[in-house]
Structure 1
Amino acid sequence: MKEILSEVQTWLEQEEPIAVAVVVHAQRPTPRPVGAWMAVTASGKMAGSVSGGCVEGVVFQEAQEVLQTNAPKQVTFRVVDEEGWEVGLACDGEMSVYIEPLTAMHRALLDALARGETVAWVAHLSGEGHLLAWPDGRQKGRADLAPALEGAFPGPLAERRSTPVGECFVQVCAPPPTLTIVGAVHLGQILAR
């Protein structure tokens, strides 16, 4: 989500309807890892990538449908399928992409990321809500999704998990670590660049 943060914030300021897509499952080699995000507006703007260009066209079309129906969906791509070859999935992998309209919970996630906070995102993959959680125990959203967070912190983490209330996608987003370089020797100078 961090990779699409600035574009999505701009679109929100312009009051654009937005759908977000995230890779929630991958098997064997895939162009992008689980946790890769993409955003699409109703007017046709895109940010991010779920496959490095392989399935973005189909995901774009599915996102437009999600925006029209307001109903989330999960789409799976496999090379063994005719569709996998047609859309250009280059690897011998399989990937599932979850697409949903951007909600107030997504906005709360974006705000936390903009503040540089470590935060966990849980999405119920049937479209039945979200949970945001912080390492200090604060939570916002569907509290019954909390079992999906077991062992998730400190992160980073992005995976699909089974819970008593159904399948969920869990992603822990953390700011990049800080590297402190002491001294101005040659190696320190090169690292600082």
Structure 2
Amino acid sequence: MDAVLARAEQWRAEGEEVALATVVATRRSAPRPLGSKLAVTASGRMFGSVSGGCVEADVAERAKAVLGGAGPEVVSYGIADDEAWSVGLPCGGEIDVFVEPFAGAPPIERGTSYVVVSGDKAGERWHDDTPTRTELRGEVFVEAVAPPPRLVAVGAGDIAEALCALAKPLGWRTVVVDPRAGLATRERVPSADEIVVKWPDELDVDADTALVSLVHEERIDIPALKRGVDGGAFYVGALGSRRAQEKRREHLGDLLDQVRGPVGLDLGGETPSEIALEILAEMLAVQKNRVVALA
């Protein structure tokens, strides 16, 4: 779940009333992308951002008004001027922010579509169970809610732990896989969301998965890489030298052309944390379509 939605859910569970502000339109050099969110409680707690600090205070006041019964609204913010500098955008961009009461995040399943309608009835129920034919005129903001990327690190060790710790703030789900029960322990990888003791060829891999092999044992390394490629992972990488990478070709053949290795961006990293940063940076670049060519 999105970190802001998760925090909003937490606050609701604590008995707080929560409003949610979402960026639904941007123009020119907007400070935050579409879909950026800010959660605000009636008591004034805030989490997230819609502008990087430029208009959050005003949005928070509007959120409190919404919780007080004012009703959902779409608010436009533009270039700051001398009289309204506190609620403007010095960067020269423009954003529209939809402010609504937060009623809880539904269990959104893969393949289900949701539409958020703004207008005179923004935030209100606009369709009941009776079959009807409706024509909508105006703009519709559609937000695709996808599952978080999943980082699968094969091999429980220092680099796997560093990877998991770095990936958490990005909202990635982290899984460490190692068939060696003596190594796949919470003590070795405390930051992992999940530790799986199984052979990597049994892994569940899909297009939301980034898989990296951090082991030198061929019985683990080769099946892991093959599973990543066959499963359609958006990123498959392997730790090791160029010589080690070419040796893998004896087992993987042309599949190796889809495996990044030596893994990670070349930033000169030497420590486990530095190597993990190189790996995660490359994963993120691939996910954001910033890296095209394989090494």
Cα distance in 1 for residues equivalent to 2:94 and 2:18:
26
Instruction: Tell whether the 8 Å contact from 1:73 to 1:98 is kept in structure 2 after alignment.
Output: yes
Moved more, 175-184 or 36-45: 175-184
2:211 to 163, 180, 190: 180
State the alpha-carbon separation in 2 of the partners of residues 58 and 18 from structure 1. Answer: 16
Asked if 1 retains the 8 angstrom alpha-carbon contact of 2:29 and 2:93, the reply is yes
Give the secondary-structure state (helix, strand or coil) at the position aligned to 2:142.
strand
Contact 1:75–1:98, Cα closer than 8 Å, also in 2:
yes
- Residues of 1 paired with 2:140 and 2:130: CA distance? 12
Further displaced range: 79-88 or 63-72:
79-88
Residues 1:168 and 2:140 are matched in the alignment:
yes
Aligned equivalents of 2:62, 2:76: Cα separation in 1: 12
2:115 corresponds in structure 1 to 122
Counterparts of 2:143 and 2:30, CA distance in 1 = 18
Q: Distance in 2 between matches of 1:93 and 1:69?
A: 30
Q: How far apart are the structure 2 equivalents of 1:100 and 1:2? A: 17
Identity %: 35
CA RMSD of aligned residues (A): 3.3
CA shift for structure 1 position 81? 5.6
| Residues in 2 aligned to 1:166 and 1:142: alpha-carbon distance in whole angstroms | 23
How many Å separate the matches in 2 of 1:188 and 1:130? 49
Match of 2:105 in 1: 107
* 1:130/1:142 contact within 8 Å kept: no
Q: TM-score, normalised by structure 1?
A: 0.70
| Counterpart Cα distance in 2 of 1:123 and 1:62 | 19
Structure 1 residues 62 and 44 mapped into 2: Cα distance closer, same or farther (>3 Å)? same
- How many residues were matched structurally? 162
Code of the residue aligned with 1:171 in structure 2: it is E
Alignment gaps of 5+ in structure 1: 132-139, 148-162
Matching of residues 14-29 of structure 1 within 5 Å: 14-29=14-29
Instruction: Give per-residue Cα distances to partners, 1:60-81, cap 9 Å, x unaligned.
Output: 0010111101500111011066
Task: Give me the whole-angstrom Cα distance separating, in 1, the residues matched to 2:35 and 2:129.
Answer: 20
CA distance in 1, matches of 2:101, 2:20: 6
CA distance in 2, matches of 1:142, 1:34: 33
Going from structure 1 to structure 2, the CA distance change for 1:178 and 1:71 (only over 3 Å counts) comes to same
Unaligned runs of 5+ in 2: 150-207, 213-224, 226-237, 242-261, 265-274, 282-295
Task: Name whichever structure is richer in strand by fraction.
Answer: 1
1:83–1:168 distance in 2 versus 1, CA, 3 Å: farther
Query: Cα deviations across residues 114-160 of structure 1 (Å, max 9, x unaligned)?
Result: x7x465442111215479xxxxxxxx999989x9xxxxxxxxxxxxx
**1:174 partner SS:** coil
Check if 1:52 corresponds to 2:52. yes
2:105 maps to amino acid: R
Match of 1:74, SS?
strand
Taking structure 2 as the reference length, the TM-score comes to 0.47
- In the TM superposition, 1:1-193 aligns within 5 A as 2-79=2-79, 85-103=85-103, 106-108=104-106, 111-112=107-108, 117=110, 120-126=113-119, 127-129=122-124, 164-175=136-147, 176=149, 177-181=208-212, 182=225, 183-186=238-241, 187-188=262-263, 190=275, 191=279
Of structures 1 and 2, the one with the larger relative CO (CA 8 A, separation 6+) is: 1
Larger radius of gyration: 2
